[in-house]
Structure 1
């Protein structure tokens, strides 16, 4: 009797587990990501204070779902005929590809540089739940 109860309980747990696995797999398959519909954009800033201000404003305005701030990068570039070397921070921004023009306009309007870097690369693939979250967070 005890063995039969244990077997029944184990069977019920297995059915529940299999149902959960099936639902998760099916929902991930149903949430197909369109490659390139989201982008990772990059913006350099002169320091962390400016980077945080720009990042927070982008998230508040729903131009970005998330902005990572990478501190202490060194940039070497030519500017007005001279080779320059500066310490900067790098913003890595996750957004919809359709929002890149608005994001670029916003950065240009608040950035202290004469020519602000804004470059974007389309996201081809990634963690489906994360990509779904980015898409839900940043409107079309």
Structure 2
């Protein structure tokens, strides 16, 4: 898998030299499926602690998806837990039976998957050829 970002400390990404804290500064908004691609959308959270340089939106554009795995979160969880990322990791695709572990790895290996863990227990795992992190809104409100 190729990416244009690195994972930092399993809660943030580094994009073009900019540290983006997914755990504290962004809320998960959902998945958008387009053919063989999946967009994972995050919106900037509301808070006075946010730096003005934090983008309003982030998309993980997963291209040529060959594998998808989802675990639903706890329906009784608070809304902020359902949209709050707890961890992000790259993980070997040959270990797809393991969906509850992290690796301290900044860049993916060729056959890694991307796994997102959320505070409500939700898990999203994607296997694809390339992921581009995009900071412009692909679906602006009408």
- With normalisation by structure 1, the TM-score equals 0.26
Q: Structure 1 or 2: larger helix share?
A: 1
Q: Structure 1 or 2: larger strand share?
A: 2
- With normalisation by structure 2, the TM-score equals 0.26
